[in-house]
Amino acid sequence: MACNHDSGHLTAAFEPLPAPATTSSITHPAVRPARAPLWQPDDLGEPGREGPAKLVTALARTILEALTGRRPLAQLSGWLAQDAHAVVMALARVRRWDSVRLRGVRARMPQHGVIEGVILFEIDGRVIAGSTRLQRQQDRWVCTHFRLLECAAATQAPRAA
């Protein structure tokens, strides 16, 4: 904007606005672009994206579905490495999972191809923290570590004497 003070009057000259966007770049508010599937690796790794938290949330919900009996435990074998799968199987045997819900998730990507997460569960009115680690293996994410703090002793391998 430029100002002139000719003959005691104030006049202003405004710079023109940028050209409007073309119709090809405008989307109708009711039409949303297609979203990538949750387990697609291209959805993760960019600064400011919420992909890691979404992935850990999806994993936590899937594990809860298996523990509560809404999903067969065998379905987790493709998403969990052998150690993490053994922990979930042990958790299924340790207690009943009727009154459990997901309270929150925090996740970060400390390096390319690795996601670390903290999961908060509410079990029988108590909040229990869990930890998880996912690693990119070929074209998919695999959970290589899963533990609940309360149940850690029941789900770890016995120590040698």
Domain map of the chain by residue range? 49-155
Q: How far apart are CA 52 and CA 61, in angstroms?
A: 14
Q: What average pLDDT does the structure give for the chain? A: 74
Q: Mean per-residue pLDDT for 132-137?
A: 94
Could you tell me which CATH class the domain 49-155 is placed in? alpha beta
136 touches 158 (CB < 8 A): no
The pLDDT tens digits of the residues spanning 74-104 come to: 888 888 999 999 999 999 888 778 888 999 9
121 touches 128 (CB < 8 A): yes
Say if residue 149 is exposed, middle or buried (CB neighbours under 10 Å; 0-12, 13-18, 19+): exposed
Q: Which pLDDT does position 114 carry in this prediction?
A: 94
The pLDDT tens digits of the residues spanning 15-64 come to: 555 555 554 445 445 544 444 434 344 444 444 445 899 999 999 999 99
Output the six-digit token pair for 120.
């908060």
CA distances from 21 to 27, 141, 146 (A): 11, 38, 48
pTM of the prediction? 0.62
Indicate whether 151 pLDDT > 60. no
Higher pLDDT, 39 or 147: 147
Tell me the backbone φ, ψ of residue 55, rounded to 5 degrees: -65, -45
